[in-house]
Amino acid sequence: MARFLARRLLVAIPTLFGVATIVFFIVRLIPGDPARVMAGEAAGDDVVDRIRANFGFDQPLPVQYARFIANLLRGDLGRSIRTGDSAVNEIVQRLPHTIELAVLATVLGALIGITFGIVAATNRGRPIDVLVSALSVSGMSLPTYWLGLMLVIVFAVNLRWLPAAGAEDPRGVILPTVTLAALSTALIARMSRSAMLEVLGQEYVRTARAKGVSGARVLLGHCLPNALLPIVTVIALQFGALLGGAVLTETIFSWPGMGRLLVDSIFARDYPVVQGCVLLFSVGFILVNLLADFLYAVVDPRIRY
């Protein structure tokens, strides 16, 4: 396992280098001059030139790229154009909020999705199975921004049970968590149903039932552990996607996470922060996939790396 993880980490290095290269050049294709955005439309050309020289934007693109890679190897992402603070500090301040949202949404989606999948699989063809399948399709089809706005209108505006936005109130995490968990719940429910149906037809399940083992023990002790591999894969992929894909949700609910920071930085042409956010999303996705590979061996002892 240690050798396997070491090889995967070594493979991740050129991946991250490629991501850093791509994001460096792509952000510079965004229309607009970051120095002009920072100085304001009313600022003179001399002020804009000083800002451009201060951040190194007056240098040729290859020189900027070489400096970016050299600084990146030292863990320095540069200074934020919007605030002048270190881009690393900007990201570190927002990262806990995104992790909190992603963890809560993943846990909620996994608990509900696996439960729904088991219920649907054990009642195949019955009305409850049809209902779960319909809810799963609906959950995957609903646009995130529409669902978030509907939740705000119902629970924040009409009923006034929950805050509409922000993280000041501890209850403010509920609506964005439910919004993010909707898609995860639907995907996990469908995968759980498919995996459980495949396992329920195995001979060892019929043997356990023939021996008089209780239905709950058959499901939880025999079927679920053997159906967990594809479920773990979906959960890991969804968690990685939530780390980098909560942009719309965080914007709708004014959640102070990295998704909102990324949007604000793109509008402000804040190259260092945009590059740092994308790189961190990539690192998170790679680490989550490594964790999923490790969990395979924990869930299924037959797997050896």
Using CA atoms, how far apart are residues 256 and 113, in angstroms rounded to an integer? 27
Cα separation, 41 vs 63, in Å, equals: 28
Tens-place pLDDT, residues 218-275: 887 778 888 888 888 888 888 888 876 678 888 888 888 888 888 888 888 888 898 8
Highest mean pLDDT among 71-85, 105-119, 233-247, 289-303: 105-119
The answer on pLDDT for 305 being more than 60 is: no
pTM to 2 decimal places: 0.84
pLDDT tens-digit map of 52-97: 888 888 888 888 899 989 988 888 888 888 887 888 898 999 889 9
